[in-house]
Chain A
Amino acid sequence: MTNRPIKFRILEVYMDGREHWNDEVVGKLQKEYGMTTGYGRDSINFDIIELAAGGMLKEVDVRAASPTLYGKNALLHSYLLTDFGRSRATEIGICRGG
């Protein structure tokens, strides 16, 4: 799947129907795409924020992040794929999660 764009891969991760914390997804994709720098981490995280803003992911939980990860006062978010997100994912050829 790493030959597909990052937002496609994020949707695929959430297609399993489970809740995932953003830092777990970011860490997973950093390894897969070889984006191990702080810039790579923030770039993937921002993709998740855009997907949530676009109504494809829904925030279901929130907790304080370690200050060393995303800076002081940062939060971690747990997201779930919305029906609209599932429909968009299917449209772009993502059939199952993982």
Chain B
Amino acid sequence: MEDLEVRRKDEHRRRVRIGYLMALFCAVLWGLWYIPGNALWVLNPFDELSAAITATNGEAVALVVTAVLISAFNALTVIIALMLWNGGLGKFREMARTVREFRSCTKWFFLASIFGGPIAILGSFIAMGFVGAAFAAVAALMYPVIGSTLSYYWLGQKISRRAMMGIVVIILGGFSIYAGGLLTDLTSGTASWIGYLGGIMAACGWGIEGAIAGKGLDVSEPDIGITLRFLGENIIWWLVIIPILAIAGFPVYTYAFQVFEPTTLLVLMMAGITFGFCYVAWYKSFPLIGVGRGQGIGNLYGIFAVVFIFLFVGDVPDWTLLLGGGLCIVGSLIMFTEESIELQSLRRDDSAALVAAKESAEGST
């Protein structure tokens, strides 16, 4: 009997470890994505689109419009990668079954795509364009605070003090990494309120996305959930935002058709693969360790991005990387060493969701 209890605890520990591993994969792949993600800006047709709009509407507008086209192509290559992934896993039939459950399930992934796509990504680029790159990075690092708060109150998920402390230490680590750039951005005198709004959009967008996706993931498989979320994002970019930009007079279609250059296509494919599987891992972590922990560890992308860009592109980071990296490791250890049996169920016993469930069960008897 004692042996059974030990094996039972081992199983839970293994489940929690898989969840953390998934969140770590997400952080590594998210960091890797910054290599193709940054390279796209200097490749045709995106650099030419940016130059053309800068000449007519200024640099900040050019940045946002180019960001829309890059994000749209990024979403397109992500959905191709995810379709191949689901095809390989033999999940198309389950996907068809899930799509048909629009009201019970798929609507959450479409909603998540609005928050994680146009709101968070555009917000991040707006913050970059109107305040600075370091400010945009720091603002985005705040998203687990929103995500874990929402998952606590709305989904009724457990967030222990220890997990919250780990999240806060990782965020402080991220702040330290970008500290020098952040000071430059905030004291340059060119920052505008639109940029700060963009920062809030990024933090809230990704935070809310996690909580909303968590609701859909309750009753569906993560591989399918993430594919539906990107299906939604593609619809938003290609059927709503790109046509609106074209109607507004921006030459987005002209440049979009010039994307078929071998180097650009290769870099777009790399972006699609890294971003797609980063999201697969992110969504797979939520049902196993909860939205707050998944997002907290996912936040380690801040350090991986700087390290990968240094290794592959040669941009030497500030010395604060060491301090930030140390804090990120401490924050992760605080979370990894949490007693896993406490996570047997991610749902709080006193959560509003549970209380409501109990009330409704009592009412029906």
Contacts and interface: CB of A to CB of B under 8 A. Distances in A.
Interface of A: 3-8, 11, 39, 47, 49-50, 52-56, 58-59, 62-64, 73, 75, 82-84, 86-88, 90-93
A82 B355 CA distance: 12
Nearest to B347: A55
A52 to B, nearest CB: 7
B11 interface: yes
B4 A64 contact: yes
Interface in B66-113: 90, 94, 97-98, 100-101, 104-105
Given A6-B94, A55-B347, A84-B347, A73 B101 contact: no
B354 A55 contact: yes
Interface stretch (B56-64, B161-169, B202-210, B218-226): B218-226
A92 B221 CA distance: 15
B248 interface: no
Interface stretch (B20-28, B44-52, B315-323, B357-365): B357-365
Interface in B93-138: 94, 97-98, 100-101, 104-105
Contacts of B218: 7, 54, 56, 88
Interface string B152-167: 0000100000000000
Contacts of B94: 5-6
Interface in B217-240: 217-221
Contact of B101 (A8, A49, A53): A8
Contacts of B97: 3-6
Contacts of B356: 87
Interface of B: 4, 7-8, 10-11, 15, 90, 94, 97-98, 100-101, 104-105, 156, 217-221, 287-288, 343-347, 353-354, 356-358, 360-361
Contact of B358 (A5, A83, A93): A83
Contact of B7 (A7, A53, A73, A92): A73
Q: Which 9 A-B pairs have the closest CB atoms?
A: A55-B347, A87-B357, A92-B104, A50-B287, A84-B357, A55-B345, A83-B357, A5-B97, A83-B361
A26 B269 CA distance: 37
A59 B11 CA distance: 13
A75 B8 contact: yes
Nearest to A11: B219
A64 B86 CA distance: 33
Contacts of A88: 218-219, 357
Contacts of A84: 156, 347, 353-354, 357
A19 B288 CA distance: 22
Contacts of B361: 83, 86-87
Nearest to B348: A55
B357 A54 contact: no
Given A49-B15, A50-B287, A83-B361, A5 B347 contact: no
B220 A53 contact: no
B259 to A, nearest CB: 35
Contacts of B100: 3-4
Contacts of B15: 49, 53
A75 B7 contact: yes
Given A5-B94, A83-B358, A59 B4 contact: no
A62 to B, nearest CB: 5
B124 to A, nearest CB: 30
29 contacts: A4-B97, A5-B220, A6-B97, A6-B221, A8-B101, A8-B104, A47-B221, A50-B217, A52-B345, A53-B15, A53-B288, A53-B345, A54-B217, A54-B218, A54-B287, A55-B345, A55-B347, A56-B218, A58-B345, A73-B7, A75-B11, A83-B357, A83-B358, A84-B357, A86-B357, A86-B361, A87-B360, A88-B357, A92-B104
